[in-house]
Structure 1
């Protein structure tokens, strides 16, 4: 509320009486309430025979003091809020660009491809002539986690009114033996590179959300994926370090037992 003494009204121009106000609450004889050029003017005058009261007059109380009137039935007439009547068109879609939709489908493909590689690693370490059950367990769980991520993105695509398009998945290798490093270290370094790749793709997707002014997509990526991804990178980095320390010999078996029994 702003006081504007230059626009004080006089008693002769005011109607009707708003009410009586105790004099002790009045700091001046007259004032104007103004929060817009069309605000009502108020003035105060003494009431005859009642020296302890002031009378308040208003010239116009028809204009809302806030200057804002929400009219929902007028607002919904905007074209952008119209409900589609064309068949096979999403009713839920709003502020969701084609670029964002395509980027989500690409991320689904990334998650499925990484899941497929991890599943191949699971099969490799589960062989009878490899028999590292702890590593097999780790990569099977990693594969399932990446598939769950893909399904999260698919569900989100449907929530926003996009259409899920599944792209082809590249066939991963089935052999992971490495004479120099050993298969355990070689596989874990591959996993670390894949997790960093996924993180890079997630950050690119977040950039798409920002470029298209889509805070809801940005929030989804931040709350569901980004922190979890850096934690995965940290964990696998530690595994790589531990495998480098133990080398290719008996220490790999102990590392495998740690993964098998869930020890940190």
Structure 2
């Protein structure tokens, strides 16, 4: 512990016993730490996030929004919005071509009902049941996403497709599936371009949508059409096509 002593004319001094020195040193260190903490407290309140302060700028945007504008739109770049509308148009154009193939193979003088049904129906990427016109389903999926992000769907004109697919060398079926394979590969490239627009603007949510809901299904479609082209190149233009039509009817 400690004692105090004083002599005549000499100020009192504190005498610390040896066994008490460690405690005194610890007390000194604590006082230094407290002073450091006090200085830090002058720089920060200790609050990590102040929601009512942070939200003021976004609240002002919502309050100013007109009834014709989306209330849900957040960090959605106009170029992303425009790219989605362009992809919707691409999907509808491909769908129109497939409808023309459906109509062609349904003719009585062509009579390949399995191929006709295949071009009319395909797997929708968001469900396991058969849906009429896969590409139209893709367009509707993009339209739903556009509305989800607060964009505006703008439908554009689509081109009138060809209606005759007879080919004396390859036959109708092989020519049609080669055309379809080319369209699917082109559509895959367009979806990649759509993903690049989202990536350019740091829109990770849109990147995730394109990858999960569209690109994965499109890659599978490219492989499926490639296999059909390989099979049709083997079977020729006669009885083999008839048998191919029967097999694909089961899938459609």
**Structure 1 segments unaligned to the other structure (5+ residues):** 1-28, 32-40, 45-56
- The reply on whether 1:72 has 2:51 as its aligned counterpart is yes
Say if 1:131 and 1:30 are closer, same or farther in 2 by CA, change over 3 A: farther
For the residue of structure 2 that corresponds to 1:43, the secondary structure is helix
Structure 1 residue runs of 4+, over 6 Å off?
A: none
2:230 equivalent in structure 1? 241
For the residue of structure 1 that corresponds to 2:30, the secondary structure is strand
Return the alpha-carbon distance in structure 2 between the equivalents of residues 214 and 251 of structure 1. Answer: 49
Return the alpha-carbon distance in structure 1 between the equivalents of residues 211 and 187 of structure 2. Answer: 14
For the residue of structure 2 that corresponds to 1:161, the secondary structure is coil
Say if 1:30 and 1:118 are closer, same or farther in 2 by CA, change over 3 A: farther
Residue 164 of structure 1 is aligned with which of 133, 153, 156? Answer: 153
2:240 equivalent in structure 1? 251
For the residue of structure 1 that corresponds to 2:56, the secondary structure is coil
Say if 1:81 and 1:251 are closer, same or farther in 2 by CA, change over 3 A: farther
| Cα drift, residue 218 of structure 1 | 0.6
Once the two structures are superposed, what CA deviation does each residue of 1:79-125 show, in whole Å capped at 9, x if it has no partner? 58731432311111111111111100000000000001001100110
Residue 43 of structure 1 is aligned with which of 30, 37, 44? Answer: 30
- The reply on whether 1:223 has 2:202 as its aligned counterpart is no
1:97 equivalent in structure 2? 77
Return the alpha-carbon distance in structure 2 between the equivalents of residues 163 and 42 of structure 1. Answer: 64
Contact 2:165–2:176 (Cα < 8 Å) also in 1: yes
Return the alpha-carbon distance in structure 2 between the equivalents of residues 109 and 67 of structure 1. Answer: 52
Once the two structures are superposed, what CA deviation does each residue of 1:16-64 show, in whole Å capped at 9, x if it has no partner? xxxxxxxxxxxxx759xxxxxxxxx9629xxxxxxxxxxxx84447849
For the residue of structure 2 that corresponds to 1:241, the secondary structure is helix
- The reply on whether 1:201 has 2:212 as its aligned counterpart is no
2:162 equivalent in structure 1? 173
Say if 1:124 and 1:91 are closer, same or farther in 2 by CA, change over 3 A: same
- The reply on whether 1:139 has 2:128 as its aligned counterpart is no
Compare the two structures and name the one with the higher helix fraction.
2
Once the two structures are superposed, what CA deviation does each residue of 1:209-251 show, in whole Å capped at 9, x if it has no partner? 0111111111110110111111111111000000000111110
| Cα drift, residue 162 of structure 1 | 0.6
1:114 equivalent in structure 2? 94
**Structure 2 segments unaligned to the other structure (5+ residues):** 1-24, 123-131
Say if 1:150 and 1:81 are closer, same or farther in 2 by CA, change over 3 A: farther
TM-score (norm 2): 0.78
Return the alpha-carbon distance in structure 2 between the equivalents of residues 239 and 42 of structure 1. Answer: 80
Once the two structures are superposed, what CA deviation does each residue of 1:136-192 show, in whole Å capped at 9, x if it has no partner? 011001461110100000011111111100000101011100011000000000000
